[in-house]
Amino acid sequence: MARKIIVGTLISGGGTNLQAIIDACQENRIDAEICFTGSDTPCVKGLERAKKAQIDTFVVDYARIIKDCKQHGIKDTDLPEDFDLEEMVSKQRLMVTDASKEQVAFFLKSRAIAERKLLDLVLAYEMDLLVLAGFMRVMTPYFIDRINTEPGQHKIMNIHPALLPAFPGTDGYGDTFRYGCKIGGCTVHFIDYGEDTGPIIGQKAFEIEDTDTLDDVKRKGLEKEWALYPHCIQKFAESFA
């Protein structure tokens, strides 16, 4: 049997995936235990779910941090001491469109301020794996490099509501539905420097009937997610055995 891995979790909302993982841990269906649940948004239902399961919780209010950066500007002294803009610009693959140099710099700096706060909380725990369970923020290389500290190592897992590489971004089920796909699905993958581009760990698909609404697609998809995420965490745990 694999040893129990220690898993940190990050959420942004309702936390039904978090609940599926909590249940799988509590019922010993996977060799994992959750050490914390962090959120980028205060007062979301997922935090209540974690508290009910006696899991430590914390919030880093990204929206407030980004608003502050926009209102007051970003001084060098606001940035983490080990932040190197040039290095981040050369590594990042999140903003590859026609964003200006200033926009890219603002994005990387404001996220690094939020990510430093998140790292201070996350790295207080010794964890084997960080699981993004409906966490609606991209991670920049600043954060990723401080979690994946060994070369070639992947320690951050994400679930995405589409069959990647189709429909990356913030509305996977919506994009699948509007495109008129007859098959939808969800993907668990490791995070890399791009948006939803990292190595795929597992996928589940479902059929979309002509009469299905977007709500039907979301319902079918979430049901698949609740089985897929624990399965992929177990696969990771077994790689420790």
Q: Catalytic residue at 160?
A: yes
- Residue among 160, 189, 204, 220 that touches ligand GAR (CB under 6 A): 160
Q: Is the dihedral of CA 103, 109, 111, 113 positive or negative?
A: negative
**187 lines the binding site for ligand GAR (CB under 6 A):** no
Strands across the sheet containing 32-39: 56-59, 32-39, 5-11, 129-132, 156-160, 183-190, 200-207
- Contact pick of 8, 161, 185, 230 for ligand GAR (by CB under 6 A): 161
Footprint of ligand GAR on residues 192-231 (CB under 6 A)? 222, 225
Separation CA 50–CA 175 (nearest Å)? 30
Q: Which of 72, 154, 160, 231 is catalytic?
A: 160
- Binding segment for ligand GAR (CB under 6 A), chosen from 14-22, 83-91, 101-109, 206-214, is 14-22
> Which 3 state secondary structure label does DSSP give 6?
strand
Residue 195: which of 232, 226, 164, 151 has the closest Cα? 164
- In terms of CB distance, is 84 or 171 closer to ligand GAR? 171
Q: Please say whether the beta carbons of 38 and 122 come within 8 A.
A: yes
Considering the rule CB under 6 A, would residue 134 count as an interface residue with ligand GAR? yes
Is the Cβ of residue 26 or residue 170 nearer to ligand GAR in the bound state? Answer: 170
Structure tokens at 9: 């979790």
- Candidates 2, 4, 6, 14; binder of ligand GAR (CB under 6 A) is 14
Residue closest to 136 by CA, chosen among 202, 71, 196, 219: 196
Element (H, E) at 131: strand 129-132
Q: Which residue from 10, 133, 144, 237 is in contact with ligand GAR, where contact means CB under 6 A?
A: 133
Determine the interface stretch with ligand GAR among 59-67, 73-81, 88-96, 132-140 (rule: CB under 6 A): 132-140
Q: Which of 22, 1, 33, 42 is nearest to 133 (CA)?
A: 22
Measured from the CB of residue 151, what is the shortest distance to ligand GAR in angstroms?
Answer: 26
What residues make contact with ligand GAR under the rule CB under 6 A?
Answer: 11, 13-17, 46, 133-134, 136, 159-161, 170, 172, 186, 222, 225
Catalytic residue IDs:
160
